[in-house]
């Protein structure tokens, strides 16, 4: 869920709700505003804290990386923000654009997508948007961020981390659990070429022409 009425949390817990997922998306106001989330990091932090305080057993945070205009420091700040939140689990995925979404309409207006020829496709923003970091950079930062986040959890919240792993271990084989924990750091060979818009294919492009982007700016 993207937002939650704090006053409803006790009712949700009484009704048996033991899992709650927040669409956090990003840890900086800049990226939240770019994605039109209409929320602040402080509001997210308060909602997650209240969910745990009201007895929700497991709280998950969904994040996206590779948003338009997002730089390297923005991505790492999202991981630092996740470390500060009282989340039990989390996921960071590259932002995708689908037909019918506001971002799709923006890309049509910017000439990146052709609504008539690209309607049946979906795209990772980092593969088609010149204002987004390249996919290889996003993946590198995501692996780095996961490493920092996992280390923070082990050192700062060892008891909670152990309890969570023990809970997972009741339903998973040890080998599967280890594979899950290591999956963010594994380098996988590219088995599928990224989907590209019709205009890029016509121009023989495999990635958008990007302006020079500062890591901090």
Give yes or no for a contact between 145 and 79, defined as CB atoms under 8 angstroms apart.
Answer: yes
**Residues 74-96 pLDDT 10s:** 999 999 999 999 999 999 999 99
State CA 33 to chain mean position distance.
15
- Residue 60, pLDDT above cutoff 90: yes
Q: Quote the percentage of the chain above a pLDDT of 90.
A: 68
DSSP 99-112: TTSHHHHHHHHTTS
Q: Which two tokens stand for residue 131?
A: 């204002």
- Residue 166, pLDDT above cutoff 90: no
pLDDT value for 86: 93
Beta bridge partners of 20: 59
**Band of the pLDDT at 180, cuts 50, 70, 90?**
low
Distances in Å between the alpha carbon of 37 and those of 23, 82, 90, 109, 211? Answer: 9, 17, 18, 21, 26
3-state DSSP helix/strand/coil % of the chain, to nearest 5:
50, 10, 40
Show the domains of the chain with their CATH numbers. Answer: 6-202 (3.30.750.200)
**Spatial distance between the Cα atoms of 122 and 199, rounded to a whole number of angstroms:** 14
Q: Residue 123: helix, strand or coil by DSSP?
A: strand
Higher pLDDT, 190 or 166: 166
pLDDT value for 41: 96
pLDDT value for 181: 67
Helix-helix angle 72-84:135-156, to 10 degrees: 20
**Band of the pLDDT at 1, cuts 50, 70, 90?**
very low
What's this model's pTM, rounded to 2 decimal places? 0.84
- Residue 119, pLDDT above cutoff 60: yes
Look-up of token digits 């594979």: 179
The HSE-up count of residue 213 (CA atoms within 13 Å, CB side) is 18
Give yes or no for a contact between 43 and 24, defined as CB atoms under 8 angstroms apart.
Answer: no
**Band of the pLDDT at 104, cuts 50, 70, 90?**
very high
- Residue 105, pLDDT above cutoff 60: yes
């Amino acid at each position: 869920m993207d937002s939650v009425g704090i006053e409803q949390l006790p009712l949700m817990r009484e009704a048996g709700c033991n899992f709650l997922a927040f669409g956090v998306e990003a840890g900086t106001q800049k990226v939240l505003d770019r994605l039109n989330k209409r929320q602040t990091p402080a509001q997210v932090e308060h909602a997650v804290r209240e969910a745990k305080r009201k007895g929700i057993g497991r709280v998950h945070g969904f994040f996206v990386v590779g948003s338009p205009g997002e730089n390297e420091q923005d991505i790492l700040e999202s991981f630092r923000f996740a470390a500060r939140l009282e989340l039990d689990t989390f996921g960071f995925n590259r932002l995708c654009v689908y037909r019918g979404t506001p971002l799709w309409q923006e890309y049509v207006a910017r000439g990146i997508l052709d609504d008539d020829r690209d309607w049946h496709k979906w795209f990772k923003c980092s593969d088609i948007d010149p204002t987004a970091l390249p996919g290889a950079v996003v993946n590198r930062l995501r692996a780095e961020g996961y490493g920092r986040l996992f280390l923070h959890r082990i050192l700062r919240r060892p008891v909670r981390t152990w309890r969570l792993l023990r809970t997972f271990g009741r339903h998973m084989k040890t080998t599967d659990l280890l594979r899950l924990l290591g999956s963010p750091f594994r380098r996988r060979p590219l088995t599928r070429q990224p989907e590209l818009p019709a205009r890029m294919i016509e121009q023989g492009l495999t990635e958008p022409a990007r302006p020079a982007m500062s890591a901090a700016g």
